[in-house]
Amino acid sequence: MIIQQQKNMNRRYRTPTRSATSGGIPPDSENVRITTCNIEGVRSNTSFLQLLTQESHIVCLQEHFLWECQASILYSILPDHNNLTRCHDSNEPLIGFKLPRGRSGVAIVWQKHWNSQIQKLPDGNERVIAILIWSNVDVCLINVYMPTMDKDFSYEYGECLDIIHNIATKYQNTHAVI
């Protein structure tokens, strides 16, 4: 999962690859571009998110600020993409006419033509999610939004570390874990 760079008359540029809008190539370890971003709200940063997905094959988001009843917004913002999304209220969804401002949340977004090479994993919680990418080197991609290491959040911090460890241990013999 690297970006190759070459020198040409003191200029650096990426080796040409297909963009998110130019069609698909099957994922492999040498051409998958993964970006991670603390988006601080997808609704307020829609244009930036669209730009990220044009330049990357897979985008890991933290702090999307969506409630479970709003998670489908990602499909309307990125119609050519699929996603795995968990919201702050995924385990206890909020229902109501007037929702408070969104909180935290994680998502992994990928181009739809890669659906056959990506498996959503049920592992994780509202801060930790993971997918498997089937390629010439199988990959387990974990996306995490860690809580602060504050005394009030020490249990939640430890819980996130345990979940990451469990996912990594589960797939370490069969996948490259990222």
Q: Rounded CA gap, 135 and 99, in Å?
A: 41
Report the range of poorest mean pLDDT among 121-130, 145-154, 159-168: 145-154
pLDDT for 19 equals 33
Residue partners of 53: CB distance under 8 A and separation at least 6: 20, 59, 78, 81, 109, 111
Report the range of poorest mean pLDDT among 6-10, 103-107, 131-135, 151-155: 6-10
Paired tokens of 124: 């994780």
* pLDDT, tens only, 38-59: 999 999 999 999 999 999 999 9
Paired tokens of 89: 């209220």
Burial class of 134 by CB neighbour count within 10 A (0 to 12, 13 to 18, 19+): middle
Q: What dotted CATH number matches 5-177? A: 3.60.10.10
Calculate mean pLDDT across residues 19-43: 71
Q: What stretch of H or E contains 157?
A: helix 154-171
**Is the pLDDT reported for residue 167 higher than 70?**
yes
pLDDT for 118 equals 97
- Vertex 105: Cα angle to 26 and 97 (nearest 5): 120
